[in-house]
Structure 1
Amino acid sequence: MKSYFVAASMLMLGIASASAADIAARPYTKAAPIVATAYDWSGFYVGANGGGSWSRKCWDVVPFTITNPTLGVLNFAGPEGCHTASGATAGGQIGYRGQQAAWVFGVEAQGNWADLSGSNPSVAPLFAGFANRSRIDAIGLFTGQVGYSWGSFLLYAKGGAAVVRDRYESFITTGFGPGVPVGFIADRGAETRWGGAIGAGAEYGIARNWSLAVEYDHLFMGTNNVRMTYDPAFIAALNHDERIRQDVDMVTVRVNYRFGGPVVAKY
């Protein structure tokens, strides 16, 4: 009997081993690749901006002479002083960017309304009792850009052309009689001036297709001669040119909408 049970056990073990050998190995399945995403700054974009700006202006009288029956020959020349015209600015921009690896290149046009105003009393001896006032009411930029991105964060520099629209006037600060009270505008001038611009900014993608930026720009507007024309009721003989130097600084917050998908899949 004992021999029978031993033989039966050996037979069962043999059958179990053969069955296990016949079972196919479980197939190996390769894990799905991990998909990484990278922010892509390429594409056309439009946006809006707003902030503050200030302009330093210095006036010099372009030498001229008038002859007065009572005072004789009067020679006008020399500096009239400087002032800062400051205020708010707001506008919009449109541009295009292309990205190569982490480098971003682009072009942009920007147009802003502005309200930058300021004044100073004239320090020219023959213009004592007068003050000069200026106002910038429009600013435009046409620039190229180069930047470096870390995903959805972009640092960039820009440079190109700038244009501003200036208005100038002189007004009376000391009463000269009933016809010319304090505050009377004696002369006016205006110009559209072109110059150069450089700037830098930091931009961050806050949502699909939307980004937010802070930007600083400096405008080199040079020196121009501006014709100042007196009110005919005042002293038209004082019509003259002012040599006016100026530059402009701007700090703006910008929001952009970029057309197209901002994310590219990388494996």
Structure 2
Amino acid sequence: MKKNLLLVTASLVALSAAAPAVAADLAARPYTKAPAMVAAIYDWSGFYIGINGGGGSAHTTWDFVGTGSEGSHNATGGTVGGQVGYRWQSGQFVFGVEGQGNWADFSGSNASALFATRNRTKIDSFGLITGQVGYAWNNVLAYVKGGAAVVGDKYEVSTAAGALLASTSQTRWGGTIGAGLEIGFAPNWSVGVEYNHIFLADKDVTFAGLAGTERIRQDVDMGLVRLNYKFGGPIIAKY
């Protein structure tokens, strides 16, 4: 009996000694850290193509060379076109080049202050070749642009009653500056608004069948809404 009691007591002592070791083994299990957060950063780099539309106004002044001013008018109307370009991003700065071509219907006229005639101007197309510098806040891009512009112009001289006397067309080159704001709203898609000003130098214009030369001065202001599709991945991962 005493022998059995001694065996039971020894077993209990052994179990008591083993319990801390088991607890220590459980506490020693490795801790697994939660995965790091990943921030999605919009990447503006890549080729893009898009469409645009809006309106504009061309302030035009006609001067009869050697005599004086015949007056001014605003040629206003709508425009629609497209653009293609490439951008590359370095940090938050974005650089790009772009070509744009538009059909337009900017037209207007005024009665001549010198003759019993009416002068009419119409812009039916224009193109822009520009460079861009911008600053991005993730999927929001603000930028300025500048470069060359080419405009398709048509000029008409009519009687005060509206009968056409003469007309001529010209392609005029000048410069342009502008600014825009663009937002990436879906993978590879962005929408934006843009303002452009086109500077056109004075141009001497002659009309077949009419004596004398007109010196025509013109500047164009436009507001456009743009939709672009960018080729390539829309975001980059930042840990």
Percentage identity across paired residues of the two chains:
54
Tell me which amino acid in the other structure corresponds to 2:47: F
Residue matched to 1:205 = 184
TM-score, structure 1 length as denominator?
0.83
Match of 2:152 in 1: 165
1:156 paired residue number: 143
Letter in 2 for 1:87: G
- 1:240 deviates by 2.6
Return the match for 2:118 from 106, 116, 131. 131
1:184 aligns to 2:187 (yes or no):
no
2-side partners of 1:265 and 1:96: how far apart? 21
Residue aligned with 1:20, SS? helix
Q: What SS does the aligned partner of 1:228 have?
A: coil
Which of 43, 61, 64 pairs up with 2:64?
61
The equivalent position to 1:117 in structure 2, one of 97, 102, 107, is 107
SS at match of 1:225: strand
CA distance in 2, matches of 1:145, 1:38: 21
With the length of structure 2 as denominator, give the TM-score of the two structures: 0.92
Distance apart, 1:135 and its partner CA: 0.2
Do the aligned partners of 2:118 and 2:162 also contact (CA within 8 Å) in 1? no
The Cα of 1:13 is off from its aligned counterpart by 5.7
Q: CA deviation at 1:30?
A: 2.7
> CA separation in 1, counterparts of 2:223 and 2:141?
17
Distance in 2, matches of 1:159 and 1:104, equals 15
- Unaligned runs of 5+ residues in structure 1 are 64-76, 174-181, 231-237
C-alpha change, 1:17 and 1:240, in structure 2 (3 Å) is farther
- CA–CA separation in structure 2 for the residues paired with 1:13 and 1:156: 80
Aligned residues: 234
Question: Equivalent residue of 2:132, what SS?
Answer: strand
Query: In the alignment, what sits opposite 2:44?
Result: 41
Per-residue CA distance 1:132-154 (angstroms, 9 max, x = gap): 00100001000000000000000
For structure 2, list consecutive stretches of 5 or more residues without a partner in the other structure.
none
RMSD in angstroms over aligned alpha carbons?
A: 1.9
Runs of 4 or more, structure 1, over 6 Å off, are: none
Distance 1:15 1:203 in 2: 73
| Deviation readout 1:152-201 (Å, 9 max, x if unpaired) | 0000000000110110011111xxxxxxxx22111212210010100000
Q: Is the 8 A contact 1:229 1:240 kept in 2?
A: no
What corresponds to 1:52 in structure 2? 55
Contact 2:41 2:237 in 1 (8 A): yes
- Give the SS at the match of 2:213: strand
Query: Which whole-Å deviations, capped at 9, do the CAs of 1:36-92 have from their partners, x for residues lacking one?
Result: 1110000000000000010000000123xxxxxxxxxxxxx2110000000000000
